[in-house]
Chain A
């Protein structure tokens, strides 16, 4: 009688779902981790200065209107300030959502789709925001009619 060979239950096999497919060395994850901490610290300062200048200083919250924003963006300091804030906040938020997708999506295909949507939204918002900061015209001329507000230089 042939003795059936029984495979050893402990042959060093690992359930296929658990084996790490490829080792992805490189410093991207470290960079992302470090960026979160550094941008977080910078953002706390920038956002509170932003909130204070627009909502506390001067006339407070009642001063915020189209003209107030226009006045702020007339200064290159606030242009750069808001630009840096936009980029840092968007990248910080995107990286945060990226890690949430990594942690909660269980299938690689789901991950890919969610991240695709995320990255598209990020790029659109960053580009649009940057465009607005630098091309913002407080006194536009539309169809030959100058929409002159009180703060615009009279031609």
Chain B
């Protein structure tokens, strides 16, 4: 008869005595200032601020959640996945367009109030929520879908790794509008197509399987198209996915030129 072997608990289930292990997450106090706007109450926007105790692992979104859940339920903002994939919570944090869910509080200057505003250049609906419709209108205009000629293949449309690599950077866009709403040309009158629309046009213009590149170049050869880009690089700086937005715009400019001349 064999003696029953005592199964060892996996390391993750072992209770650690206090003082051993990862230790406490450092906590700190912050002041969160949020630009509030409610057209049903006042046409004027104002700033509200809260003192919060947050932790080293917290993001700006966590601070906003804490305010909404524990202090003032009327604070309005968009967020969906909360992990930098859906692109809902782009906002102006300390004057820079960032995703609230990807900005750690510890990376900001916590000795000063943290300013949170809606993204600029789009009509504010309430607090941090803006009307994204003008942004999506430009996106729709560049036809962000595959357009092909000829017979549909019976199998998938194959593409070489090199051809796929050509437009890889611009496939990363999550349509958060951080780039377009950081562009000073867009702020002027909102007529410019904006970096996001051009990035998504780039994704199809340089796709070897797509046949409507000329059509998209023609659309972007508009008075409000790529030629309004002044290469200020605000968009590249703002992009939470690290897309080289200004480079993509320049490539589209070049494509329009080489097609014309």
Chain A contact residues, CB within 8 Å of chain B:
10, 12-15, 17-20, 23-25, 27-30, 32-34, 99, 102-106
Do A103 and B222 have beta carbons less than 8 Å apart? no
Known: A29-B223, A103-B185, A104-B188. A19 touches B256 (CB 8 A): no
Do B253 and A33 have beta carbons less than 8 Å apart? yes
Do B221 and A25 have beta carbons less than 8 Å apart? yes
* CA of A12 to CA of B185, assembled, Å: 24
4 other A-B residue contacts (CB within 8 Å) besides A19-B134, A25-B222, A106-B188: A14-B134, A15-B131, A102-B188, A103-B188
Do B137 and A29 have beta carbons less than 8 Å apart? no
Known: A17-B189, A27-B260. A32 touches B227 (CB 8 A): yes
Choice from A14, A99, A103 contacting B137 with Cβ under 8 Å = A14
* CA of A102 to CA of B189, assembled, Å: 9
Tell me the chain B residues, 200-233 only, with Cβ under 8 Å from chain A. Answer: 218, 221-225, 227-228, 230
Closest B residue to A111 by CB, please name it: B189
Do A24 and B223 have beta carbons less than 8 Å apart? yes
A27 to chain B, nearest CB (A): 7
Known: A27-B260, A29-B227. A18 touches B137 (CB 8 A): yes
B100 to chain A, nearest CB (A): 23
Cβ of B190 within 8 Å of any chain A Cβ, yes or no, is yes
**Chain B residue contacts of A102, Cβ below 8 A:** 188, 228
Cβ of B57 within 8 Å of any chain A Cβ, yes or no, is no
Chain B contact residues, CB within 8 Å of chain A:
123, 131, 133-134, 137, 184-185, 188-191, 218, 221-225, 227-228, 230, 253, 256-257, 260
**Chain A residue contacts of B221, Cβ below 8 A:** 25, 27, 29-30
Do B225 and A13 have beta carbons less than 8 Å apart? no
Closest A residue to B191 by CB, please name it: A20
Closest A residue to B125 by CB, please name it: A9
Do B133 and A14 have beta carbons less than 8 Å apart? yes
Choice from A17, A24, A32, A105 contacting B190 with Cβ under 8 Å = A17
* CA of A34 to CA of B225, assembled, Å: 15
Closest A residue to B223 by CB, please name it: A24
**Chain A residue contacts of B224, Cβ below 8 A:** 20, 24
28 contacts between A and B (CB under 8 A): A10-B133, A14-B134, A14-B137, A15-B131, A15-B133, A17-B189, A18-B137, A18-B191, A20-B191, A20-B222, A23-B222, A24-B223, A25-B218, A27-B260, A29-B221, A29-B222, A29-B223, A29-B227, A32-B227, A33-B253, A34-B257, A102-B228, A103-B185, A103-B188, A103-B228, A104-B188, A105-B188, A106-B188
Do A30 and B260 have beta carbons less than 8 Å apart? yes
**Chain A residue contacts of B218, Cβ below 8 A:** 25
**Chain B residue contacts of A27, Cβ below 8 A:** 221, 260
A12 to chain B, nearest CB (A): 7
**Chain B residue contacts of A17, Cβ below 8 A:** 189-190
Choice from B131, B184, B190, B253 contacting A103 with Cβ under 8 Å = B184
Do A106 and B189 have beta carbons less than 8 Å apart? yes
* CA of A20 to CA of B253, assembled, Å: 20
Closest A residue to B137 by CB, please name it: A14
* CA of A30 to CA of B257, assembled, Å: 8
Interface centre among B133, B228, B253, B256, by most A CB within 10 Å? B133
Do A30 and B256 have beta carbons less than 8 Å apart? yes
Closest A residue to B261 by CB, please name it: A34
